[in-house]
Amino acid sequence: LKMYGEIITIGDELTSGRTVDLNSWYAAGRLTASGLGVIRVTSVGDDDQMVSKALKRASASSRFVIVTGGLGPTEDDMTCEIAAHALNRPLRLDTQMLKKIQEYVALRGMEMTPFFEKMAYMPEGSRMLNPEGETCGFSVQAEDVRFYFLPGVPEQTRHLMDTVVLPELLRLYERLPVVEQRVIKVYGIDEIRIAQRLRHIKPKTEGVILGFYPNFPETHITLSLKGSGEEVVTARLDAVAGEIKKILGAYVFSTQGETMEAVAGRLLLEKGVTVALAESCTGGLIGHRLTNVPGSSRYVEGGVIAYSNHLKTALIDVNEETLKQHGAVSAETAQEMAKGVRGRTGSHLGLAVTGIAGPEGGSKEKPVGTVYLGLSQGDGLYSKGYRFRGNREQVKQNSAAMALDWIRRHLNGDPFLPGI
């Protein structure tokens, strides 16, 4: 176990659930991707005793320890003092650090206070990670364990992880076993059914560790394989991924870890198809996701957030008669929205979503979660209804995912997922 490390994140905001711990998530992901194992992640509050315990335990079981939080200028930032005590290293004033802080404070026209000064005291033997930059952090070697202390601010932690900590660790542990990982992403079929369908491939996956992870509204299947010869490992994973893809078919939207919007975007770009959206219940979420992909302006025209019935008629030419007769949440309206937004924008493909996200607005025939999609391209005009479970946010998320799935399946010539 001595080859592995661990992560300790500090802050009352973590143990009280005010903040999601994105620092440990990021650090764990980067370390794993670099072939460095993470055996444990521990979060403790701004509490002398608990922080001290966590540091001592880590020094007994890990080779490297990433610690985040508690380095700032406010009163609850006490990591330096606690670390000094737990690692038996008295606090020492770092003059280089003091100078850096003084410059920082002066540059911003602020006043130098004892809180800022406090930030310049570090456990004896510490080394600043980033002496030139604005971000503070330090490392200290305690016997055969290397500690990295990083700030709690996610952007700063990420910056230091990527530019200093990882390169340093990789230099220290050059001969790590190669661990290759593949993520197969699936939409429209649940974890249990996937496991059932895959149970017969067992003999073909020897050595490959399979994991199944619901990742709402998707499911992710991970393949991991250790080995020192990279080519063999890659070929092995390719074979198993291919086998899984063969069994699950179009449920698989990526074997390369891509997002749904990246897959849809890649297909649109490859086929030279532009898309415009008519979003009702999703409120703009599909557009947001599609435009998260750099370069998406090459295939996303934009579209209309047709939230009110008025905008459905005024901006994308849905017939008032259709709304009256079938309702805003219907196959007919979804079709007219898709056709309308295509006509108004001149895009190749028009995609529409209209539904009841809740908690209000449901009826017996159309309960909360009822969502219709429409798609128009060339002479083709499609629509289908779905019923999603969950709260407002989940219905929106599932509706947007289904819309992205429609783009992929449509451009690949695969049938849409069956609806209601």
Query: What is the DSSP annotation of 182-241?
Result: EEEEEESS-HHHHHHHHGGGGGGGTTPEEEEEEETTEEEEEEEEEES-HHHHHHHHHHHH
Positions 362 through 391 that interact with a copy of itself (CB under 8 A): 390
Among residues 3, 35, 39, 166, the one that binds a copy of itself under rule CB under 8 A: 39
Positions 127 through 166 that interact with a copy of itself (CB under 8 A): 152-155
Asked if 54 touches a copy of itself (CB under 8 A), the answer is yes
Give dist(CA 136, CA 338) in Å, integer.
52
Q: How many of the chain's residues bind a copy of itself (CB under 8 A)?
A: 111
Kindly tell me the number of DSSP H helices and DSSP E strands found in the chain. 16, 17
Positions 195 through 224 that interact with a copy of itself (CB under 8 A): 195-196, 199, 209-216, 220, 222, 224
Q: What is the DSSP letter of 263?
A: H
- 125 vs 133, which CB is nearer to a copy of itself? 133
Among residues 3, 25, 121, 326, the one that binds a copy of itself under rule CB under 8 A: 25
Among residues 358, 370, 386, 388, the one that binds a copy of itself under rule CB under 8 A: 358
Distances (CA, A) of 124 to 81, 83, 128, 410: 11, 10, 12, 62
Query: What is the DSSP annotation of 357-407?
Result: -SSSS--SSS-TTEEEEEEEETTEEEEEEEE--S-HHHHHHHHHHHHHHHH
Positions 69 through 98 that interact with a copy of itself (CB under 8 A): 72-76
Positions 259 through 318 that interact with a copy of itself (CB under 8 A): 276-277, 279-288, 290-292, 294-297, 300-308, 310-311, 314-315
* Contact mark string toward a copy of itself, 328..357, x via CB under 8 A: ----------------xxx----------x
- 27 vs 82, which CB is nearer to a copy of itself? 27
Count of alpha carbons within 13 Å of 43, Cβ hemisphere only?
Answer: 16
**Measured from the CB of residue 145, what is the shortest distance to a copy of itself in angstroms?**
18
Among residues 2, 18, 171, 364, the one that binds a copy of itself under rule CB under 8 A: 18
